[in-house]
Structure 1
Amino acid sequence: MNLGALCGNILTGYSSYKFGRKSTLLAFSCTMLLSHLICFFASTPLELYLARFLVGIGLGAVFTVIPIYIGEVAETETRGFLSCMMPAFLAVGMLFIYAIGPFFSLRVLSSFLIVPIILFQLFFGIFVPESPYFYVAIDKEEEARISLNKLRNRGSCCLKELADIKEIVKATQNNKFSFKQLISSRSFRRGIVITCVLMILQQLIGIIIILAYMETIFIASGSSLSSYMSTLIVAVIQVFVVGLSSYLSDRWGRRFLIALSSGCSIPPLLSLGFYFFLKNAGSDVSSLWWLPVVSLIIFIISYNIGLGPLPWTLLGEMFSSNTKSLASTITASVNVSVSFFVTMVFPKLLEIIGYGGIFCCFATSALVSMLFVCLYVPETKGKRFQDILNILEK
């Protein structure tokens, strides 16, 4: 799936720039639809591998194009809230799978998952307009005006915003870039460093491992919670906290929430490390059975309030219209690559340093994330795209 997502990142980055954000999302949603159809009829492991690869391509499109699209269609005051909708609905999807997955066969589950994709294609294809930035970029001003009117429902009041979009797009189109010029652009360079480092730290903090090995961690800790209940509890918490993050991001700011998220992740990760060090040393930890459960819950809350959803918000805010597709491709590819690396390295690392050492490594990544955000990441809440680019250029 990670390999498919990497391919999806590369393909959709170019496609969204050339053919539009909406067209790209609709086209690549078909790979997800095909994936579930293959799962429905699958009779061999090879077919399941193919299905995983195809759904990975679709996920690559989601993580590459949706931050661009939301960043371009949302108003400044609601950009943070809407940008968090992608991770929020991913959390809802995980909750759905965790809740019903154990009770149905793969074939029945695949038939369920086909329905939301078809609904997306119908609703998004009929009712949701293309990005006005894309229309302006290809000299379709009338279509851009219609798109804005549909998005804002304000009639002539959208003319000023359309003029602003034309000014931004014109300024970036006049600056035709080569790779060398991109690297020499301070705003692009800073934006790429910020988003890529946050994506790396987002994975190095261990979320993918904690979610994938949740049952193993609970069993190793001696918890009496069943794997079904533990994953369900985590999924419910994720939905609630990501929803809270979407509400707070336009009030408290992206920078503050990511720093808070990273800082609050350190104590529960250290607590987990301490617990497993004691357990591996032969100490009696029966009276501390609650510690790993509480620590994991606090970590899930801390991660999802900022470091989980908000780097995707920043990805849609920190780049000019003619570099967004490239930046989104690079950043999403880094995220997928590091996720794949962490997943592959974890079993070997577990043999060498154990759970205690691994959780201490995760805590170190959280500390680095907090320091990086405090020292290097600017606040983007309530700022126009041009204002953000000017800040990055300084």
Structure 2
Amino acid sequence: MVELIIDVVLQKSWIGSLMPLGALIGAWLLIALANGVPMIYAGRAIAGFCVGIASLCLPVYLGETVQPEVRGTLGLLPTTLGNVGILLGFVAGKYLDWKALAFLGATIPVPFLICMFLIPETPRWFISKNNHKKARIALQWLRGKDADIEDELSAIERTHMESEKNAGTLLDLLTKNNLKPLAISIGLMFFQQLSGINAVIFYTVQIFQDAGSTIDKNLCTIIVGVVNFGSTFIATILIDRLGRKILLYISAAAMTVALAALGTFFYLKDNKYDVTEFGWLPLASFVIFVIGFSLGYGPVPWLMMGEILPAKIRGPAASLVTAFNWSCTFVVTKTFTDVIVYLGTYGTFWLFGSICFSSLLFVFIWVPETQGRSLEDIERNLTGAVRRMSSIANLKPSPMAV
């Protein structure tokens, strides 16, 4: 569905693919004015649809406009600002009812929607439409009025000439050269969501209640939100200094330790041990878990999706990876309480912890380091061939898209 929308309905414009911001405003208003549960469901569905499209478009747009030396830092900004939204939701939720919170949600996208009309299309998109004059203007705007853009513009033009010969479809995902980067990107999304992050965030209050924590439950959620934002901000500073793999190692190790400790706390509590002296442990474990996730597995998979997917199949592949991610989000969140029934709270956290530990091996064996490397160089090493970067606008809509 997402691929079809981007490749067909919104093919005229890169920025147009971000116009669901307008629909997002409408979705929040629908929730705020709801007179029944169906309207709330409809609003949530529209909002989720808009977020799904944006989460696909942003990494690819940034990949086509940002220079390699700052691609990591700027590539993490969407995740960082997303965490600002989570924090705002936690804080506002403490003081506002759900209708007021929905009205607040409708106002926040407005300035971003206005900014969309001020940001240029990518130079590669203009080149794909044979509009070289606007491509030059867009690239000069992106690099600064005094920057020398001739070499980069020439490279983009050569890229377009080569990419016209290699338009990709969904079937190209199955070729040998493309399977490895696709599998890596899907694997990163798998470990991101199977860490249990969304279940932990969505059920934060309930978990603290079950833990018998003496700390105010709303204060706990705000603390988690602050840590989430702060850690992601730190990641934007470290990503182009330490590299992607180091942050993923740190992330997986921290989450493993935190989930093991949290599981142990609930094991002792469920087996009638006195855990009064350890009332601080759930919050401490949560903080460590969120720090670990926000440093690595939160932002890095989205960044690397735009870096490692080959240009020929970037459109359909990014659609597939994004759909897989949100499907995992739904499954983990929907089944979290059921898993607790079968495994117990401690068993559930130990399960998530073991998955985080296994992700260390996945990163060590499969994931390449992309720090400071051009997209062409990354693709050469992953596929054994050089296919220069192209715009999604150059990709043929797949008849298999739904």
Q: Shorter-chain-normalised TM-score: which range?
A: over 0.9
Are 2:16 and 1:23 equivalent residues in the alignment?
yes
Once residues 8 and 110 of structure 2 are traced to their aligned partners in structure 1, the CA distance between those partners, rounded to angstroms, is: 21
Q: Tell me if structure 1 keeps the 8 A contact 2:30–2:40.
A: yes
Deviations for 1:102-140, whole angstroms, at most 9, x for unmatched residues?
3223333333223332211211212x1111122222222
Q: Tell me if structure 1 keeps the 8 A contact 2:6–2:17.
A: no
Amino acid at match of 1:298: I
Counterpart mapping for 1:325-344 below 5 A: 325-344=315-334
Once residues 176 and 31 of structure 2 are traced to their aligned partners in structure 1, the CA distance between those partners, rounded to angstroms, is: 46
TM-score of the pair, normalised by structure 1:
0.93
Unaligned runs of 5+ in 2: 385-402
Are 2:206 and 1:216 equivalent residues in the alignment?
yes
Once residues 53 and 170 of structure 2 are traced to their aligned partners in structure 1, the CA distance between those partners, rounded to angstroms, is: 23
1:250 Cα shift?
0.8
Q: Tell me if structure 1 keeps the 8 A contact 2:259–2:350.
A: yes
Q: Hey, what does 2:216 align to over in structure 1?
A: 226
Amino acid at match of 2:286: L
1:141 Cα shift?
1.8
Unaligned runs of 5+ in 1: 1-6
1:156 Cα shift?
6.1
Q: Hey, what does 1:91 align to over in structure 2?
A: 83
Counterpart mapping for 1:289-304 below 5 A: 289-304=279-294
Deviations for 1:308-353, whole angstroms, at most 9, x for unmatched residues?
1111100111134442221211111000111111122222211111
1:220 Cα shift?
1.6
Q: Hey, what does 1:45 align to over in structure 2?
A: 37
RMSD over aligned Cα atoms? 1.7
Q: Secondary structure at the match of 2:351?
A: helix
Once residues 82 and 278 of structure 1 are traced to their aligned partners in structure 2, the CA distance between those partners, rounded to angstroms, is: 43
Cα 1:250–1:35 change in 2 (3 A) is same
Q: Hey, what does 2:46 align to over in structure 1?
A: 54
Count of residues in correspondence between the two structures: 384
Once residues 160 and 241 of structure 2 are traced to their aligned partners in structure 1, the CA distance between those partners, rounded to angstroms, is: 28
Q: Identity of paired residues, percent?
A: 27
Q: Secondary structure at the match of 1:249?
A: helix
Displaced runs of 4+ in structure 1, greater than 4 A?
none
Deviations for 1:171-221, whole angstroms, at most 9, x for unmatched residues?
2321234444442151x2222111111111111111011111111211222
Amino acid at match of 1:370: L
TM-score of the pair, normalised by structure 2:
0.91
Q: Secondary structure at the match of 1:382?
A: coil
Q: Tell me if structure 2 keeps the 8 A contact 1:13–1:64.
A: no
1:54 Cα shift?
0.7
Greater helix share, structure number: 1
Once residues 11 and 3 of structure 2 are traced to their aligned partners in structure 1, the CA distance between those partners, rounded to angstroms, is: 13
| More moved, 229-238 vs 249-258 | 249-258
Q: Hey, what does 1:176 align to over in structure 2?
A: 167
Are 2:56 and 1:64 equivalent residues in the alignment?
yes
Amino acid at match of 2:14: R
Cα 1:264–1:40 change in 2 (3 A) is closer
1:267 Cα shift?
1.0
Once residues 32 and 164 of structure 2 are traced to their aligned partners in structure 1, the CA distance between those partners, rounded to angstroms, is: 46
1:87 Cα shift?
0.8
Q: Secondary structure at the match of 1:250?
A: helix
